[in-house]
Structure 1
Amino acid sequence: MSVGSGAGGPVLPGHTLGRGAVFVTALGFGGAAVAGLYEDVGEEEAAAAVEAAWDAGIRYFDTAPHYGLGLSERRLGAVLRSKPRDSYTLSTKVGRVLEPYDGGGDDRSHGFAVPATHRRRWDFSADGVRRSLADSLTRLGLDRVDLVLLHDPDDHEEQAFREAYPALEDLRAQGVVRAIGVGMNQTRMLARFVRDTDVDAVLCAGRYTLLDQGALDELLPAASTAGTSVIVGGVFNSGLLAAPVPGATYDYAEAPDSVVRRALRMQDVTESQGVPLRAAALRFPFGHPAVASVLVGARSAGQVRDAAEQFHRFLPDGVWEALRRQGLLAAGVPVPERRTS
Structure 2
Amino acid sequence: MDLTPTAYGTWSAGRFMHFGETLPEERFLSCIQTAWDDGIRTFVTADVYGNGKADELLGQALADKPREEYCLVGMVGHDFYEGQRQGARGYPRFTELHAPGKFRDYLRQSCEKSLERCRTDRFDLLMLHNPDETGYTSDAVWDGLRALKSEGLAERIGLAPGPANGFTLDLIDCIERRGADIDWMMLILNPLEPWPSCHVLPVCEKNGIKVLTRVADYGGLFHGDMKQGHVFKPGDHRSYRAEGWVDHGLAKIEKMRPIAEKHGLSLIQFASIWNLSQPAVESVVPTFIQEASEGARSIEEQIHDFAALPDVRLTAEESEKVRQIGDNTGCMTLKGASKRHQVSERPDEWPMREDLLELAGRHGLGTEW
Cα gap change, 1:244/1:267 in structure 2, threshold over 3 Å: closer, same or farther?
A: farther
* CA distance, structure 2, for counterparts of residue 325 and residue 144 of structure 1: 39
* CA distance, structure 2, for counterparts of residue 217 and residue 287 of structure 1: 12
* CA distance, structure 2, for counterparts of residue 315 and residue 226 of structure 1: 22
Q: Is 1:23–2:7 an aligned residue pair?
A: no
* Corresponding residue for residue 80 of structure 1: 62
CA RMSD, 1 decimal: 3.3
* Corresponding residue for residue 19 of structure 1: none
Which of 91, 98, 101 is residue 120 of structure 1 equivalent to?
Answer: 91
Which of 38, 45, 64 is residue 63 of structure 1 equivalent to?
Answer: 45
Cα gap change, 1:133/1:313 in structure 2, threshold over 3 Å: closer, same or farther?
A: closer
Cα gap change, 1:225/1:251 in structure 2, threshold over 3 Å: closer, same or farther?
A: farther
* Corresponding residue for residue 336 of structure 2: none
* Corresponding residue for residue 183 of structure 2: 200
Q: Which has the higher contact order (CA 8 A, sep 6+)?
A: 2
Q: Which is richer in strand?
A: 1
CA-CA distance at 1:240 after TM superposition: 3.5
CA-CA distance at 1:131 after TM superposition: 1.7
Q: Is 1:212–2:193 an aligned residue pair?
A: yes
Percent of residue pairs bearing the same amino acid type: 23
Contact 2:122–2:155 under 8 Å retained in 1:
no
CA-CA distance at 1:257 after TM superposition: 3.9
* Corresponding residue for residue 118 of structure 2: 140
Q: Is 1:222–2:193 an aligned residue pair?
A: no
SS at match of 2:285: strand
* Corresponding residue for residue 324 of structure 1: 321
Cα gap change, 1:216/1:183 in structure 2, threshold over 3 Å: closer, same or farther?
A: closer
* CA distance, structure 2, for counterparts of residue 283 and residue 241 of structure 1: 12
Cα gap change, 1:54/1:319 in structure 2, threshold over 3 Å: closer, same or farther?
A: farther
| AA in 1 matched with 2:182 | V
- Report the number of matched residues: 293
Cα gap change, 1:108/1:44 in structure 2, threshold over 3 Å: closer, same or farther?
A: farther
* Corresponding residue for residue 138 of structure 2: 161
SS at match of 1:235: coil
CA-CA distance at 1:211 after TM superposition: 1.5
* CA distance, structure 2, for counterparts of residue 325 and residue 134 of structure 1: 42
Contact 2:222–2:271 under 8 Å retained in 1:
yes
Unaligned runs of 5+ residues in structure 1 are 1-21, 112-118, 331-341
CA-CA distance at 1:166 after TM superposition: 1.2
* Corresponding residue for residue 302 of structure 1: 301
Unaligned runs of 5+ residues in structure 2 are 96-102, 290-298, 328-369
Q: Is 1:152–2:135 an aligned residue pair?
A: no
Q: Is 1:312–2:289 an aligned residue pair?
A: no
Give deviations 1:207-231, integer Å, cap 9, x for gaps: x211222245431111111111011
Which of 49, 55, 64 is residue 31 of structure 2 equivalent to?
Answer: 49
* Corresponding residue for residue 74 of structure 2: 92
SS at match of 2:123: coil
* CA distance, structure 1, for counterparts of residue 25 and residue 322 of structure 2: 46
CA-CA distance at 1:260 after TM superposition: 2.8
Cα gap change, 1:70/1:76 in structure 2, threshold over 3 Å: closer, same or farther?
A: same
SS at match of 2:120: coil
Contact 1:267–1:276 under 8 Å retained in 2:
no
Contact 1:96–1:132 under 8 Å retained in 2:
no
SS at match of 1:50: helix
CA-CA distance at 1:180 after TM superposition: 0.2
Contact 1:194–1:226 under 8 Å retained in 2:
yes
Which has the larger displacement, 62-71 or 119-128?
119-128
Cα gap change, 1:108/1:252 in structure 2, threshold over 3 Å: closer, same or farther?
A: farther
* CA distance, structure 1, for counterparts of residue 266 and residue 86 of structure 2: 31
Which of 166, 184, 191 is residue 161 of structure 2 equivalent to?
Answer: 184
Cα gap change, 1:245/1:315 in structure 2, threshold over 3 Å: closer, same or farther?
A: farther
Which has the larger displacement, 48-57 or 188-197?
188-197
* CA distance, structure 1, for counterparts of residue 207 and residue 58 of structure 2: 32
TM-score (norm 2): 0.69
* Corresponding residue for residue 284 of structure 1: 274
Cα gap change, 1:252/1:131 in structure 2, threshold over 3 Å: closer, same or farther?
A: farther
Q: Is 1:255–2:234 an aligned residue pair?
A: no
Contact 1:246–1:255 under 8 Å retained in 2:
no
Which has the larger displacement, 215-224 or 87-96?
215-224
SS at match of 1:218: helix
Contact 1:279–1:313 under 8 Å retained in 2:
no
CA-CA distance at 1:245 after TM superposition: 4.1
